[in-house]
Amino acid sequence: MKRYLPLSIVAAAGLLALGAGTMLYQAKRPIVLSIPRNSIAPETAGAEPVHVRGEVNAPVTLEEFGDFQCPPCGKLAGPTKQLEEAYGSQLRVIFRQFPLPVKVHAHAQEAALASEAAGLQGCFWEMHDLLYREQDGWSKAADARALFRGYAGMLGLDLDRFEKDMDGSEARERVASDQKRGDALGVHSTPTVFINDRQIPAPVAVAGLRSAINAALKPQPPR
């Protein structure tokens, strides 16, 4: 059995980490939307989304493949939430786990598991937002897991269950399922975003997302 830091130290570490926030991303110029037909995402068996915000019948779906240690993903998180608020029932958002290899982002896989463990207690999106907000702190920590445990405590989660779920098969299977879908779609970097199954050209910027959403909301001409 693993030994963990005393709760007082973990809580203190978590509180210190919460002091560092990341700045919201702002695009400097709009991106002209030009999406090739071969970028349309095919249906993938067993790819039902687990983490969804918004109306199930929303006319526009934004599907993001993200890595919690990826700085551009962190910068995109706040503006994406603003888009959700701006478009209301017209937009739903799906988050897919796509942690990059350890040699690229040392704590990305563990952060993904932390979010899934929180999700098994009904707090995925709360942990999602917290991990991105505090990315600069935990991504540089020697013991990121201690901070993740601290975040779980701040969210009021059962810490023993959180630890077990981080190491359990269900969290790992959820991450693997999202990665499998990403691989099938040719995802190789983060963030990769699809609007109504069409990939947004990289680099993903808020102006490009807004343009794609507006285009998807326009009435289609009769054929």
pLDDT string in tens for the chain (223-residue length): 444 445 444 444 444 444 443 333 333 323 333 333 334 444 444 456 789 999 999 999 999 999 999 999 999 999 999 999 999 999 999 999 999 999 999 999 999 999 999 999 999 999 999 999 999 999 999 999 999 999 999 999 999 999 999 999 999 999 999 999 999 999 999 999 999 999 999 999 999 999 999 999 998 777 6
Partners of 63 in the beta sheet? 94, 194
Q: How far apart are CA 34 and CA 46, in angstroms?
A: 29
Task: Kindly list the domain boundaries of the chain, sorted by start residue.
Answer: 17-217
In this structure, the dihedral spanned by the alpha carbons of residues 27, 33, 36 and 42, taken in order and rounded to 10 degrees, is 70
Residues in Cβ contact with 61 at an 8 Å cutoff, skipping those fewer than 6 apart:
91, 92, 93, 94, 194, 195, 196, 197
Partners of 97 in the beta sheet? 66
Q: How far apart are CA 109 and CA 88, in angstroms?
A: 31
Q: What is the CATH number that goes with domain 17-217?
A: 3.40.30.10
